[in-house]
Amino acid sequence: MAASTGTTPREGWSSRSAFILAAIGAAVGLGNVWRFPTLAGENGGGAFVLVYVAFVFLLGLPLVISEIFLGRTGQDDAVGSIRKVAQRSGVSEAWSGFGIMGVVAAFLIVSFYSVVAGWVLYYVGVMGADFVGALAAGDPLRGALPGESQEAIQGRMGDLFADPMLLLAMHFAFMGVTLYIVARGIGSGIEAAATVLMPMFFVLLIGITIYGAFAGDMGEALAFLFTPDFSKLTSQSLNTALGQALFSLSLGVAGLITYGSYIKGSDGLGSTSLTIAFADTGVALIAGMMIFPIVFAVGLDPAAGPTLVFQTLPFAFQTMPAGSLIGLLFFVLILVAAVTSSISLLEVPTAWGIGEMGWSRTTSALIFGGSAFLVGIACLLGYNVWADVRPLGFWDLFADTDILDTIDGFTGKVMLPLGAFFTAIFVGWRADRRLVQEMTGLSGSWLALWRFLIAWLCPLAVGLILVTGLFPAILGS
């Protein structure tokens, strides 16, 4: 059970800004550039976006503070950190149980996250080949490849999904990179990766958005994203918006408890957490402003669903000036975002193995990265060989859901909200008040506001949305 092994001091971030960068790297990921535009598109745009932003600041932000508080106070893996806060607060150590659930959720998420990131990797290759073709033809700024129809371009996704070996190779490569970075440790692995990749991500994001503003239809995109039509909101879409807010901020899976445990300083957590929430939400909104102008310019469907980024956009790019180059950069951007998030996911169980089981970092990363790779194989087979398998088919909500979407849906709709619920109850009601005040650095009316949100609003809202989302019959919708 020993958290630190003898004389070796526990790893840590080199500075406060290193932590913020790594935490933004964890938050900004497929959730922002793939899931958020997909869900906003499917749920009618404006109203969903508004609810999402409200959830981020009213429910997400107080939880970000709480998770970092737990990690920084405990200075241990997620389970150990909660246990230590429980001990110092004189309450039952059984509270650390929700940490275990977080570790399991992070493990499950990284297994399918790597499969989806594998698709992105494949598209980097495909778009790269298109661009090389355009270069070879002496026309690097051309969009469409001669002779390629919309069907052919959109058919690439179907070809990929029908080929388990190709999916496997991509998943293997992505998980391999994730595992390598995590095995290198906090400083020379995770922090170093975030320091290089995050600036690269922001440059690409801004660059492609400016391109979209000129080459696409920004007016229609803004209207779609920011004109709310509340008749489009159902209890299901509230549940989806909450799940997305939690997923995007990396909450409910002990990710920020784990990253927070590597903070050595004692700065207040308010501004740090606000920076993370702003950056994450800003990126999601900008990603919408990057993607939808391009989708609308070509007259495509914003509600295409998960294939929006993989089928709709590649076709749109091919019809636009410099499309193959922009397409290539676009998928590099998603890949970069995915790497800095997947390392944070794998770090959660890896830290647990180090802290609770006494394994070395390399062993722990190999065990969890390796097993997540195996679970991911089941996910990718769900698109071909096991296409008929419905793991939770007995449950209405997942009756017609394949393996990957079942794990995504179950973690996002059940485990994350539950994790968030228990975090709120524990920090809001059970943790020692003086400890909380001292370690969050909050005071005065900010402390009072945060306490209200975490003790009352979060448990009530998360609990309500969880129940009505899972059992829509209650609301009759």
* Binding positions for ligand PFF, rule: CB under 6 A: 26-27, 29-32, 106, 109, 247-248, 250, 253, 255, 341, 344-345
Chain position whose Cβ is nearest to ligand PFF: 31
Minimum distance, C-beta of residue 110 to ligand PFF, in the bound complex (Å)? 8
User: What is the spatial distance between Cα 253 and Cα 229, in angstroms, rounded to a whole number?
Assistant: 32
Burial 339-377 (b: 16+ CB within 10 A, else e): bbbbbbbbbbbbbbbbbbeebebeebbbebbeebbebbb
Residue 28 or 300 with smaller CB distance to ligand PFF: 28
The 10 Å Cβ neighbour count of residue 414 is 17
Residue 251 or 320 with smaller CB distance to ligand PFF: 251
3-state DSSP helix/strand/coil % of the chain, to nearest 5: 80, 0, 20
Residue 114 or 341 with smaller CB distance to ligand PFF: 341
Minimum distance, C-beta of residue 289 to ligand PFF, in the bound complex (Å)? 17
Minimum distance, C-beta of residue 334 to ligand PFF, in the bound complex (Å)? 10
Residue 44 or 255 with smaller CB distance to ligand PFF: 255
The 10 Å Cβ neighbour count of residue 391 is 18
Minimum distance, C-beta of residue 358 to ligand PFF, in the bound complex (Å)? 23
Residue 411 CA, distance from chain mean position: 12
Minimum distance, C-beta of residue 341 to ligand PFF, in the bound complex (Å)? 4
Residue 419 or 459 with smaller CB distance to ligand PFF: 419
Structural contact between residues 185 and 365, judged by C-beta atoms closer than 8 angstroms: no
Residue 27 or 332 with smaller CB distance to ligand PFF: 27
Distances (CA, A) of 49 to 42, 46, 251, 469: 11, 5, 19, 18
With both helix axes pointing from N to C terminus, report the angle between 444-452 and 433-440 in degrees, rounded to the nearest 10.
120
Which segments of 185-322 does DSSP mark as H helices, in order? 192-215, 218-226, 235-248, 255-260, 270-297, 313-318
Q: What angle do CA 283, 189, 380 make, to 5 degrees?
A: 65
75 DSSP assignment: -
Residue 414 or 435 with smaller CB distance to ligand PFF: 414
The amino acid present at 243, given as its one-letter code, is: G
Residue 182 or 320 with smaller CB distance to ligand PFF: 182
Structural contact between residues 309 and 39, judged by C-beta atoms closer than 8 angstroms: no
User: What is the spatial distance between Cα 124 and Cα 175, in angstroms, rounded to a whole number?
Assistant: 16
Minimum distance, C-beta of residue 26 to ligand PFF, in the bound complex (Å)? 5
User: What is the spatial distance between Cα 23 and Cα 398, in angstroms, rounded to a whole number?
Assistant: 31
Which residues contact residue 145 at a Cβ distance below 8 angstroms, ignoring those fewer than 6 apart? 130, 133, 134, 318, 324
User: What is the spatial distance between Cα 471 and Cα 477, in angstroms, rounded to a whole number?
Assistant: 9
Burial 149-178 (b: 16+ CB within 10 A, else e): eeeebeebbeebbeeeebbbebbeebbebb
Residue 216 or 255 with smaller CB distance to ligand PFF: 255
Can you tell me which residue has the tokens 């509230």?
A: 238
Joined tokens for residue 181: 């970075």
Minimum distance, C-beta of residue 109 to ligand PFF, in the bound complex (Å)? 6
Minimum distance, C-beta of residue 72 to ligand PFF, in the bound complex (Å)? 16
Residue 56 or 427 with smaller CB distance to ligand PFF: 56
Residue 309 or 442 with smaller CB distance to ligand PFF: 309
Joined tokens for residue 203: 């440059």
Minimum distance, C-beta of residue 61 to ligand PFF, in the bound complex (Å)? 15
Minimum distance, C-beta of residue 411 to ligand PFF, in the bound complex (Å)? 9
Minimum distance, C-beta of residue 223 to ligand PFF, in the bound complex (Å)? 25
Residue 67 or 130 with smaller CB distance to ligand PFF: 67
Minimum distance, C-beta of residue 284 to ligand PFF, in the bound complex (Å)? 8
Query: What DSSP line would sit under 317-331, residue for residue?
Result: HHTSTTHHHHHHHHH
